[in-house]
Amino acid sequence: MAVSIRDLAAWKASGTRFVMLTAYDYPTALLLAEAEVPVLLVGDSLADNVLGYPNTIPVTMTEMLHHARAVARGASGQLLVGDLPFGSYQRSCADAVENAVEFLKAGMHAVKLEGAGWVVETVARLTQRGIPVMGHLGLTPQSVNAFGGLKVQARSAADRERLIADAHALEDAGAFALVVEGIPRDLAAQVTSELVIPTIGIGAGPDCDAQVLVIHDLLGITGHLRGTVPKFVKPYADLGDRIVSAARAYADDVREGRFPDDAHSFH
Ligand code: KIV
């Protein structure tokens, strides 16, 4: 059965918690379909997790679309969300509409964009045109330069009030869900209880309606490569270690003449 934004609204109304995971390629989409993950985000975290950029700023629409198409080919029934990358909606609402249309043509069902303020009008323009929008507040990685690093946001009373007002503004503009990233647990709980739309937390505590993680963090690839993971990440596998061990074992077998053997040969 295909998951739609209506399902997310129903899950919020009935108190049914759900998950979203990032996916950047065809096999991951197939595997996450098998695992019955209902929402896949082709995140702009493609930049640092797959393409080797230092942060999410450099990734382009062309790169995002390439991966979005691959995920769409592997998915079966999940709600697919394309993350509008930095530069694809900042210049004008017209740009936002054009790039969101490209995502939907690539097989996505919705788009995500970061921030509020001037972004609220963009969200309204997109939703008025039949393009479902997921908002994203708090530690919004595309603002890394404005924040002076990636730090927990909304710690002061004024910032907390602003985030709550921004969340309501995005909901009023038509957003169907809201990612809240890197904010204090009690603030995420308050936003979750005040909004009608579901909140999807990452580094925002357990009281959100849903949770999202970057798939490379969950699989233990990031932890292996960087030697550390952020406090909010829980790796559920050690794929980084396993990939290195497997590649080493293969190389040893070839060097020692154990592979290929007769069983792996044609006669
Ligand atoms: O790009 C991404 O992975 C994200 C999630 C962390 C929400 O935006």
For residue 1, pLDDT beyond 80: no
Percent of the chain with pLDDT strictly greater than 70 = 100
What is d(CA 199, CA 208) in angstroms, rounded to the nearest whole number?
5
What is d(CA 33, CA 52) in angstroms, rounded to the nearest whole number?
26
Residue ranges lining ligand 1, Cβ < 6 Å: 22, 41, 43-45, 83, 179, 181, 202, 212, 214
Residue having the nearest C-alpha atom to atom 1 of ligand 1: 43
The backbone torsions φ and ψ at residue 21, rounded to the nearest 5 degrees and listed phi first, read -130, 155
What is d(CA 129, CA 253) in angstroms, rounded to the nearest whole number?
58
CB distance 82 to 42 below 8 Å: yes
Half-sphere exposure of 47 (CA within 13 A, CB side): 18
Which ligand 1 atom is at minimum distance from the Cα of 49?
A: 3
Residue range 214-224: mean pLDDT, rounded: 97
What pLDDT is stored for residue 149 in this prediction? 86
Residue having the nearest C-alpha atom to atom 8 of ligand 1: 43
DSSP state of 255: H
Average model confidence (pLDDT) for the chain?
A: 97
pLDDT digits (tens, 9 = 90+) for 5-50: 999 999 999 999 999 999 999 999 999 999 999 999 999 999 999 9
What pLDDT is stored for residue 168 in this prediction? 98
Whether residue 260 has a cis bond before it, omega within 30° of 0: yes
Known catalytic residues are 181
What pLDDT is stored for residue 199 in this prediction? 98
pLDDT digits (tens, 9 = 90+) for 49-91: 999 999 999 999 999 999 999 999 999 999 999 999 999 999 9
Q: Would you place residue 238 in the very low, low, confident or very high pLDDT band (cuts 50, 70, 90)?
A: very high
Q: How far is the CA of 30 from the centre of ligand 1 (A)?
A: 19
What is d(CA 123, CA 140) in angstroms, rounded to the nearest whole number?
16
**Which helix (H) or strand (E) element contains residue 119?**
helix 118-128
Give the global pTM.
Answer: 0.97
What is d(CA 76, CA 66) in angstroms, rounded to the nearest whole number?
18
DSSP state of 84: P
What is d(CA 190, CA 195) in angstroms, rounded to the nearest whole number?
9
Coil, strand or helix: which one is 82? strand
